[in-house]
């Protein structure tokens, strides 16, 4: 028996392939470490639309609310491009984030030594990089009302609304300060206070929360455009970056690419604690469904595997086991085992998705 429950939503494209490797790793922890999980599986995204006519059924939504953690693969694909907005695969993901109220999205950008050459930036700029972007995930321009495409006179107008309440800003700021205390104790907050009122409020509230509750943490502010520039110029100046939903979406993709491959980066989306003390949580790779390579064994499962490592750490308080899994991934990379996205001129041992999973399992065995 176990009191740890997981809901796997593998989704579309490469989601099911990369998640299959995670399932094997979950099994490994049960068999070899006595850390068992009760795992259920369900549909999200395009596959849910194909089966049920909606990217997320109410039953799946309810199940997601009950479990300790949701593991999500990826959603979307060209086949669904022409669907109405409300039926698109991405809406399934957005509904999960919104209804579970997963306001703090943790997106680490870490550069593995074995891959430092792989970045499009110079090696000394990225080697040893370890930053964490905290993106506000349940509000801002992705959810604000009014929104829509309206008729104005004889032309159409597209409207989205950037809206943040003080409490929405304060709670994600607290997440950032708490996390910084466990790292290098520095937070940089990014907005556009020079042109946006929501940015002015963002800066005010972050400053207030800092002064009242976290004066020990070093806080700086940056306009998000300058932040993007600084992230490519000298990313190691940052520790924790906290920013809104839209800027966080952009800056986390940028930060991801510093590390060489989107196929490497995990994320955690966390909400308020549940009755058992564990936070509402969803873990997913930062990469998308990559329909162009789906079903060919080319996908890199590492981002999804590392997302499970984040689940071990943030949902189940198993930091040492998370370290074990992350070290296993590092060991595999150090051995030169490479899915196609990690292949470079100087070579390495080519691996399919499953072979990468095999290698991680072997490294886990070796960690015992």
State the virtual CA torsion across 10, 253, 219, 179 in degrees, nearest 10.
20
Q: Which is nearer to ligand IPM, 22 or 360 (CB)?
A: 22
Residue 358 near which of ligand IPM, Mg ion, none (CB within 5-8 Å, type-dependent): none
Q: Which is nearer to ligand IPM, 93 or 325 (CB)?
A: 93
Q: Which is nearer to Mg ion, 68 or 284 (CB)?
A: 284
* Residues contributing to the site for Mg ion (CB under 5 A): 249
Residue 93 near which of ligand IPM, Mg ion, none (CB within 5-8 Å, type-dependent): ligand IPM
Counting contacts by CB under 6 A, is residue 218 touching ligand IPM?
no
Strands 130-136 and 144-152: unpaired
How many CB atoms are closer than 10 A to CB 368? 7
Q: Which is nearer to ligand IPM, 93 or 134 (CB)?
A: 93
Closest CA to 360 of 26, 8, 13, 111: 26
Number of chain residues interacting with ligand IPM (CB under 6 A)? 4
CA distance 288 to 74: 5
Clarify whether 142 is annotated catalytic: yes
Where b means 16+ CB within 10 Å and e means fewer, 1-19 reads eeebbbbbbbbbbbbbbbb
Site for ligand IPM in 342-361 (CB under 6 A): none
Counting contacts by CB under 6 A, is residue 99 touching ligand IPM?
no
Q: Which member of 90, 117, 130, 323 binds ligand IPM (CB under 6 A)?
A: 90
Counting contacts by CB under 6 A, is residue 133 touching ligand IPM?
no
Catalytic residue among 192, 280, 283, 314: 192
Counting contacts by CB under 6 A, is residue 249 touching ligand IPM?
yes
What 3-state class would DSSP assign to 121?
coil
Q: Is the CB of residue 353 less than 8 Å from the CB of residue 339?
A: yes
Counting contacts by CB under 6 A, is residue 244 touching ligand IPM?
no
CA distance 218 to 177: 9
* Tokens 């299959």 belong to residue: 20
Contact footprint for ligand IPM (CB under 6 A): 90, 93-94, 249
């Amino acid at each position: 028996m176990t009191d740890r429950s997981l809901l796997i939503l593998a989704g579309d494209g490469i989601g099911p392939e990369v998640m299959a490797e995670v399932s094997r790793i979950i099994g490994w922890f049960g068999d070899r470490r006595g850390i068992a999980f009760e795992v259920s599986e369900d549909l999200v995204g395009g596959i849910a639309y194909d089966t049920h006519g909606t990217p997320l059924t109410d039953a799946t939504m309810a199940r997601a609310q009950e479990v300790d953690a949701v593991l999500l693969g990826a959603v979307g694909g060209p086949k669904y491009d022409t669907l109405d907005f409300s039926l698109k695969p991405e809406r399934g993901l957005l509904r999960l984030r919104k209804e579970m109220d997963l306001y703090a999205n943790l997106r680490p950008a870490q550069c593995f030594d074995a891959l430092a050459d792989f970045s499009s930036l110079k090696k000394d700029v990225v080697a040893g990089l370890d930053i964490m972007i905290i993106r506000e995930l349940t509000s801002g321009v992705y959810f604000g009302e009014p929104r829509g495409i309206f008729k104005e006179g004889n032309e159409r107008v597209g409207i989205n609304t950037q809206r943040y309440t003080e409490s929405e800003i304060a709670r994600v700021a607290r997440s950032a300060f708490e996390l910084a205390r466990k790292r290098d104790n520095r937070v940089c907050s990014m907005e556009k206070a020079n042109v946006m009122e929501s940015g002015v409020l963002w800066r005010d509230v972050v400053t207030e929360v800092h002064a009242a509750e976290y004066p020990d943490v070093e806080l700086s502010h940056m306009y998000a455009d300058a932040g993007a520039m600084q992230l490519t110029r000298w990313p190691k100046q940052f520790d924790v970056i906290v920013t809104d939903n839209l800027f966080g979406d952009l800056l986390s993709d940028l930060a991801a690419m510093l590390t060489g491959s989107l196929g490497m980066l995990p994320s955690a989306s966390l909400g308020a604690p549940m009755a058992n003390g564990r936070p509402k949580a969803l873990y997913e790779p930062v990469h998308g469904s990559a329909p162009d390579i789906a079903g060919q064994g080319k996908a890199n499962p590492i981002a999804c595997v590392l997302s499970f490592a984040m689940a071990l750490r943030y949902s189940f308080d198993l930091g040492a086991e998370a370290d074990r899994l992350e070290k296993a991934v590092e060991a595999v990379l150090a051995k030169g085992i490479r899915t196609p996205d990690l292949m470079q001129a100087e070579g390495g041992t080519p691996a399919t998705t499953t072979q990468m999973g095999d290698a991680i399992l072997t490294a886990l065995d070796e960690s015992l």
